[in-house]
């Protein structure tokens, strides 16, 4: 029975577990680093997706990437923040999942990444798959196993 429960879980798709795009904080291509830093600070996340107006995924921007861009030889050059667009600082080589990928694929990917962006059949951003989501599910399975 317990085995069956975990088998069922692993055969579900990413779509069943992702945070939908409308609940994901993001910035748009063309936004400057000052805006990105404001969004990151206000939401409390360390990294968020960068999308275009069509909702295509271009990369991720994080506080570390922003700071790296404005660290000068002697000081942090904050005045550069509103001059640099996010596309000059974002990470573009990022892992991606499809909504129909099996949960097991996502599980393997969040070993190395705090979250992975999910795309639909039209290659548009659909949401994110996070470590928290999968750990919550595993927690449930393990607790039921111990009952
Ligand atoms: O605002 C928050 N609410 C809650 N409930 N949990 C939070 C919040 N901010 C951080 N956390 C917790 C989560 O457990 O800290 C973990 C690390 O956050 P992070 O990476 O370094 O900002 C969170 O783990 P997680 O939920 O597995 O999320 C992993 C990463 O996914 C986050 C962030 O980069 C991204 N993320 C999660 N939800 C997001 C999001 N990015 C944009 N919008 C969202 N709604
Ligand atoms: O430099 C990195 N190398 C690797 N292999 N993965 C990294 C690196 N930087 C970030 N990551 C990945 C890891 O999956 O992003 C996740 C979130 O990083 P964070 O929170 O927001 O800097 C990383 O997840 P994690 O390895 O499970 O680490 C979770 C958090 O624990 C990190 C950081 O706050 C802290 N941490 C981990 N290793 C650390 C550390 N703090 C100081 N020194 C370390 N060696």
What is the tens place of the pLDDT at every residue in 17-45?
A: 999 999 999 999 999 999 999 999 999 99
Pocket lining for ligand 2, CB < 6 angstroms: 46, 112-114
Q: What is the mean pLDDT of residues 58-82?
A: 97
User: What's residue 144's pLDDT?
Assistant: 87
Q: How far is it, in rounded angstroms, from Cα 121 to Cα 1? A: 34
Assess whether the C-beta atom of 19 lies below 6 angstroms from ligand 1: yes
Assess whether the C-beta atom of 25 lies below 6 angstroms from ligand 1: yes
Rounded to two decimals, the pTM is 0.91
Q: How far is it, in rounded angstroms, from Cα 55 to Cα 57? A: 6
Q: Which of 10, 37, 40 is nearest to 25 (CA)?
A: 40
Domains and CATH numbers, the chain: 9-145 (3.10.580.10)
């Amino acid at each position: 029975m317990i085995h069956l429960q975990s088998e069922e879980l692993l055969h579900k798709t990413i779509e069943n577990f992702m945070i939908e795009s409308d609940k994901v904080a993001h910035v748009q291509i063309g936004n400057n680093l000052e805006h990105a830093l404001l969004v990151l600070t206000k939401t409390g996340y360390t990294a968020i997706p960068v999308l275009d107006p069509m909702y295509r995924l271009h990369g991720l921007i994080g506080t570390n990437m922003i700071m790296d861009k404005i660290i000068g030889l002697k000081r942090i050059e904050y005045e550069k923040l509103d001059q640099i667009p996010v596309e000059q600082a974002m990470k573009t080589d990022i892992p991606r999942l499809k909504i129909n990928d099996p949960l097991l694929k996502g599980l393997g990917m969040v070993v190395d990444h705090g979250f992975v962006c999910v795309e639909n059949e039209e290659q548009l951003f659909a949401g994110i798959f996070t470590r928290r989501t999968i750990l919550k599910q595993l927690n449930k399975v393990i607790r039921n196993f111990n009952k």
